Amino acid sequence: MGNEPCTVPSEKGRRVATGFDSVVPSLPGPSRGGLSLSLLSGFELRVDGRPLRVPLSAQRVVAFLGLNPGRVSRIFVGGHLWTLAREERAAGALRTALWRLGRPASMFVRCEGQWLSLSPDVEVDVADAARIARQLLDGADAATCETAFTGLRGAGELLPDWYDDWVLIERERFRQLRLHALERLCLDFSGEGRYAEATEAGLAAVASEPLRESAHRALIEAHFAAGNPCEAVRQYEICRRLLRRDLDLAPSAVLEGLIGHRRRREMANRVTTR
């Protein structure tokens, strides 16, 4: 079994191999590593840096395979993408979507009988970002921290404006992973005395989720470590106002204890230096 051409219904209803060549005859063959799928901040397929125009139905198939690595059955794909259709109709819609993808399907999608998968040659941005975030959380060296900082601080939302259940679940999974990684970066950079990077990582986490107290707490710790107690208290007040306004909640005892402890330390330091 290889990367077989997908079969689709012809206008008369018979199954034919697409061959793909007649669909996009001018598309150049990519070098290894020249295939990329972007799902953060929106969908985009690229071949050697060139974006491809892809119909929405085909986008959904490719995106689903990009978020479900490994082989998945056609029934599984069709059932998730066409939830209200009967199995036969969903299978037909899937074949049509692959046909509409055209020649790129032979490069991006592997069709092996009843199994589909994304080609291992395709670089998927969300998979790369998730992998580096997990490496960071597992304990990483300086190079990994740098890569994570560059890749995660400006990472966009997974497939914004897509509201399928399978997208919402993966969007929240990546959002949480990114937030944990940014908080870790904030604390790690602060411990290394890299206060500018720590502040930027903390602010990126807070901007992504303004009501996340742990993000505020990491940023407050970074301000204190940098010797900026006024900035730390200002950030605490921002957090307190947001929690009160949007959730009618007060900061946790952990955050209150952090602020109280740091304030007492600052006062003690001022007394001893007089």
Q: DSSP letters of 219-238?
A: HHHHHHHTT-HHHHHHHHHH
| Bridging pattern class, strands 122-124 and 109-112 | unpaired
Expressed in angstroms, the distance from the first to the final Cα of the chain is 80
Strand order in the sheet with 122-124: 50-52, 44-47, 35-38, 122-124
Query: Where in the chain do CATH 1.10.10.10 domains reside?
Result: 30-120
Fold of 30-120: Arc Repressor Mutant, subunit A (1.10.10)
Q: Transcribe 80-147 into DSSP letters.
A: HHSTTS-HHHHHHHHHHHHHHH-TTHHHHEEEETTEEEE-TTEEEHHHHHHHHHHHHHT---HHHHHH
Residue 20: closest CA among 37, 5, 41, 39: 5
Distance, CA of 32 to CA of 256 (rounded, Å): 53
Give the model's pLDDT for residue 73.
Answer: 97
Give the model's pLDDT for residue 24.
Answer: 32
List the chain pLDDT tens, one digit each, 274 residues. Answer: 444 445 444 333 333 333 322 233 233 334 445 899 999 999 999 999 999 999 999 999 999 999 999 999 999 999 999 999 999 999 999 999 999 988 777 789 999 999 999 999 999 999 999 999 999 999 877 888 888 899 899 899 999 999 999 999 999 999 999 999 999 999 999 999 999 999 999 999 999 999 999 999 999 999 999 999 999 999 999 999 999 999 999 999 999 999 987 777 766 666 566 5
Sign (positive or negative) of CA dihedral 93, 116, 50, 25: negative
Domain 124-272 CATH class label = mainly alpha
Query: What tokens does 57 get?
Result: 């139905």
**Identity of the residue numbered 58:** A
Query: Where in the chain do CATH 1.25.40.10 domains reside?
Result: 124-272
Give the model's pLDDT for residue 274.
Answer: 58
